[in-house]
């Protein structure tokens, strides 16, 4: 797809995050609060990426997970934008930006916090 196709598919807000590496405002995603039993799919390609089983309340205002679902095509890369050194999280299936991963997640599990823009996700009920 070219960029105008992406814009049409995603809408302006998701396009800005997923294709232009933007960030949604904190506490704006309905997925910051969650009900169990959901799988979050990539809004760009509908690939399952995260599960509510792995979601936790990080208090940061973005949906937070301690890991992706098994086999999810998550790609990480170094991001030095905005004067910070962070690890960017992308959907490898459609090469869209999703958020960042930080090493301050729950120590009892993975210790990682996948801090994801909810606007990049659609929720479906787990089977
Ligand atoms: Zn995708």
- According to DSSP, residue 54 is labeled G
Alpha-carbon span 63 to 76, nearest angstrom: 17
pLDDT at residue 127, rounded to an integer: 79
Question: Ligand 1 centroid vs 22 CA: distance in angstroms?
Answer: 16
**Catalytic annotation, pick one of 42, 45, 94, 115:** 115
pLDDT at residue 85, rounded to an integer: 96
- Please say whether the dihedral angle defined by the alpha carbons of residues 33, 39, 41 and 43, taken in this order, is positive or negative: negative
Note if 115 is an active site residue: yes
Cα–Cα–Cα angle for 123, 79, 87, nearest 5°? 55
pTM over 0.85: yes
Distance of CA 99 to the CA centre of its chain: 5
Alpha-carbon span 35 to 113, nearest angstrom: 19
pLDDT at residue 5, rounded to an integer: 97
Which pair of structure tokens corresponds to residue 56? 């936790």
Average pLDDT, the chain: 97
Identify the architecture of domain 3-125 in CATH: Beta Complex (2.170)
Segments of the chain with pLDDT less than 70 = none
């Amino acid at each position: 797809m070219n960029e105008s196709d992406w814009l049409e598919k995603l809408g302006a807000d998701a396009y800005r995050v997923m294709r232009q590496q933007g960030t949604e405002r904190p506490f704006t995603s309905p997925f910051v609060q969650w009900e169990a039993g959901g799988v979050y799919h990539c809004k760009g390609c509908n690939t399952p990426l995260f599960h509510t089983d792995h979601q936790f309340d990080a208090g940061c205002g973005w949906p937070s997970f301690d890991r992706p679902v098994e086999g999810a095509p998550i790609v990480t890369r170094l991001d030095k934008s905005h004067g910070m050194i962070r690890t960017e999280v992308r959907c490898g299936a459609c090469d869209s930006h999703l958020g960042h991963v930080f090493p301050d997640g729950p120590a009892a599990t993975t210790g990682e916090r996948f801090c994801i823009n909810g606007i990049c996700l659609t929720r479906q009920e787990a089977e």
